[in-house]
Amino acid sequence: MMNIILNNGIKMPLLGFGTYLLRDGSMCEQAVLHALNIGYRLIDTAAAYYNEESVGSAIKKSNVQREEIFVTTKFLPTNTGYKNAKHAAEASLKNLGLDYIDLYLIHLPQGDINSSWTAMEELYKEGKVRAIGVSNFNIKEVQNLIKQHRVVPAVNQVETHPFSQRAEMQQALKAQGIQLESWAPFAQGKKNLFNNELLKALSDKYNKSIAQLVLRWLIQKEVVAIPKSANVKRITENFNVFDFELSSEDMTTIKSLDNGRGLIYHV
């Protein structure tokens, strides 16, 4: 597994497993368990996904040591504010059945962000979370947070895929020591991504699926990706992206697909 080092020195896998919309308890548990058993070490969930208990159960049933697994969760936008953020973290720890969370995120830039961040800084200092970050924040929102607090976010998780490549955002975040993470790496199939002619030609060239091509592209851009699937074959396929490398020319070719903004969440 390839890792990046966050701004506080901890390692985070570049490829993880997302659990958005995996709300069926058994289905979610089995998907996460399979992901862990084949080598995924980053598991992404959220209070809003209503599957933290299933994720925690899969972690407990796996043969993987807890310290080898990087667990991300996020708190609901309705739980912003100092006390709410603290209570939300405790609830997530209980649901997951864990002693600590590896990465804790503000899910959306809504509500009392500053008080929430103060609570998260305390959780970080207490060791209940190993890193803190944000999700769906634009650059201005990230910069405002940095100006008012001591701990710089470790991660900004934003919709990132070939049609919304976030090159300027990634550069700005990197200047602040913040890691860009992609949710919806396949754009949720929008704009007919899985039949895109340019991506299809490249996938044929490398003898890989379009999904594998996109994940490899993100990895080479040093963007963390968290593809989601309930299909065992696809979960396995999405993990098999470390045996090939895109040329610099092909990386440049994919730039032509960028629309400059999100298709799902307009940050």
Query: Of 49, 50, 206, 265, which residue is the catalytic one?
Result: 49
In 3D space, the residue among 108, 109, 111, 98 whose CA is nearest the CA of residue 72 turns out to be 98
Distance, in Å, from the CA atom of 53 to the CA atom of 252, rounded to the nearest integer, reads 42
Q: Based on the residue annotation, tell me whether 49 is a catalytic residue of this protein.
A: yes
In 3D space, the residue among 51, 55, 124, 119 whose CA is nearest the CA of residue 87 turns out to be 119
- Inter-residue contact 49 to 258 (CB < 8 Å): no
Q: Is 266 annotated as a binding residue?
A: no
Q: Which tokens go with 174?
A: 């990197």
Q: Label residue 76 exposed, middle or buried (CB < 10 Å: 0-12, 13-18, 19+).
A: middle
Distance, in Å, from the CA atom of 97 to the CA atom of 154, rounded to the nearest integer, reads 24
Q: What is the dihedral of CA 138, 225, 30, 57, to 10 degrees?
A: -60
- Inter-residue contact 39 to 239 (CB < 8 Å): yes
In 3D space, the residue among 150, 143, 149, 228 whose CA is nearest the CA of residue 185 turns out to be 228
Distance, in Å, from the CA atom of 141 to the CA atom of 48, rounded to the nearest integer, reads 22
User: Within 13 Å, how many C-alpha atoms sit on residue 81's CB side?
Assistant: 5
Task: List the catalytic residues.
Answer: 49
Query: What residue numbers does the annotated binding site for substrate cover?
Result: 107
